[in-house]
Amino acid sequence: MKKSILTLVILILMIGCAKTKEERAIKKSDNNISLQLEATIYPIRQEAILAQSDGYVKKVYVKNGDRVKKGDLIYCLDSRLIKLDMKKLEYDIKSLEKEKADLTRGTTTNHNRAAINLAAIELKKAAVLRSQGAINQFEEDKYIRNYINALNANIKTTTNRSRIETINRTIVADKVALEKLKYALNHINVKANIDGFIVNLNLQPNQSVTLNQKVGNIINIDNVIVRAGLAQGLLSFVNKGDKVKINFITEPPYSEKGKIARINPIIDKAFKNMTIDIIVKNRNYILQPGTKALVTIYLTKAQQDKIRKIFYDRKGKIIEIQSNNE
């Protein structure tokens, strides 16, 4: 029982002595007050490498760690199967259209050509959008039905009507598939969309990929973002353009001076805090994503006086205050 009480007392004392995030960030040296924040390095820009169509990888032109320029070829898909499928569809469409022509000889028709052409254009657009993943199958099906209805709208006689309607549906489906294959053929070469380095590339020849599948990343670290967590109670002491010193936790130790480029007042999940960003030139690429750092923010005399008033008592000791950030 006594042991339990003692443990509880120690726990209460520890909680009472715990500092808030604001207090931990405040540093005092030679009667000057500054803020010291923990930071992490991020690429200045990062883009995913996405498959632009379904297919099989024919050749991979880069490997992890390679530097690429915007427009450089990353990989290409095998076009042979796509071209064979296109030939088959073109042959099927031609055969079906011939059969339809034979069936409609002597059949009274009065097609609204303008309506058919408009429906065909809309369907072609829908096929491309579907290939890009911009619309779903349900939305594409609406355009298919519209086109089929336009084709079938004015067949006057019932002779072979059922077969003609079936042919129309098949032709439309084949034309949609053909448009998608044309799109795929035009996107067999996947190129870099930014300058940077290839990372997390997971591609091998003969590997199958699907539309919008992520196969790697390109990161640009010519400059890097130093992102530091900022407790909410310190927001009023920080301004864009404030001078900072950054001590990077590297071997050998490395430091840079800079200015706050951006203040992000929304709580960042990774930091569980607001954040500030400093842009730093990455000399010799010593700074890699994930590198840790300490950011010291120098405060004006007015800012220091305000901190003393809020966070320090008359004896110059920091006051234990409650914080919503804990």
DSSP one-letter code for 227:
E
pLDDT band of residue 325 (cuts 50, 70, 90) is very low
What lies within 8 Å, CB to CB, of 244 at 6+ separation is: 257, 258, 259, 260, 278, 295, 296, 297, 298
CA 302 vs CA 248, 307, 308: distances in Å: 28, 9, 10
Taking the domains of the chain in order of start, what are their residue ranges? 19-45+219-311, 46-77+188-217, 80-186
As a whole number, mean pLDDT of residues 217-224 equals: 97
Reported as a single tens digit per residue, the pLDDT across 31-71 is 789 999 999 999 999 999 999 988 899 999 999 999 999 99
Q: What is the pLDDT of residue 1?
A: 47
CATH 2.40.50.140 fits 46-77+188-217, yes or no: no
- Confirm if 25 and 37 have CB atoms less than 8 A apart: yes
- Degrees to nearest 5, angle at CA 258 with 253 and 262: 120
CA 9 vs CA 17, 20, 322: distances in Å: 12, 20, 20
Q: What does the block give as tokens for 142?
A: 């609406």
DSSP run (H or E) holding 41: strand 32-50
As a whole number, mean pLDDT of residues 104-118 equals: 65
Q: How far is CA 5 from the centre of its chain?
A: 53
Q: How far is CA 322 from the centre of its chain?
A: 38
**Same fold? 19-45+219-311, 46-77+188-217:** no
What lies within 8 Å, CB to CB, of 235 at 6+ separation is: 263, 265, 274
Q: What is the pLDDT of residue 322?
A: 37
Q: What does the block give as tokens for 233?
A: 């109670």
Reported as a single tens digit per residue, the pLDDT across 224-271 is 999 999 998 899 889 999 999 999 998 888 899 999 999 999 999 988
Which residues partner with 36 through β-bridges?
296
From 72-81, 245-254, 302-311, the region with the lowest mean pLDDT: 302-311
- Confirm if 276 and 227 have CB atoms less than 8 A apart: yes
Any alpha helices (H) in the chain, and if so which ranges? Answer: 2-17, 21-25, 80-103, 113-131, 137-152, 161-186, 301-311
Q: What does the block give as tokens for 263?
A: 């203040």
Map residue 75 onto helix, strand or coil. Answer: strand
- Report which of 38, 43, 40, 19 is spatially closest to residue 297, judged by C-alpha positions: 38
Considering only residues 88 and 28, tell me which one the structure prediction assigns the higher pLDDT. 88
Q: What is the pLDDT of residue 315?
A: 52
What is the Cβ-side half-sphere exposure of residue 254, based on CA atoms within 13 angstroms? Answer: 17
Q: Where are the beta strands (DSSP E) in 194-249?
A: 196-199, 208-209, 214-230, 243-248
Q: What is the pLDDT of residue 142?
A: 86
Reported as a single tens digit per residue, the pLDDT across 148-201 is 887 777 665 556 778 888 889 999 999 999 998 998 899 999 999 999 999 999
As a whole number, mean pLDDT of residues 19-23 equals: 70
Alpha-carbon span 297 to 311, nearest angstrom: 17
- Report which of 41, 60, 19 is spatially closest to residue 282, judged by C-alpha positions: 41
Whether the pLDDT of residue 102 is over 60: the answer is yes
Q: What is the pLDDT of residue 120?
A: 82
19-45+219-311 belongs to which CATH class? mainly beta
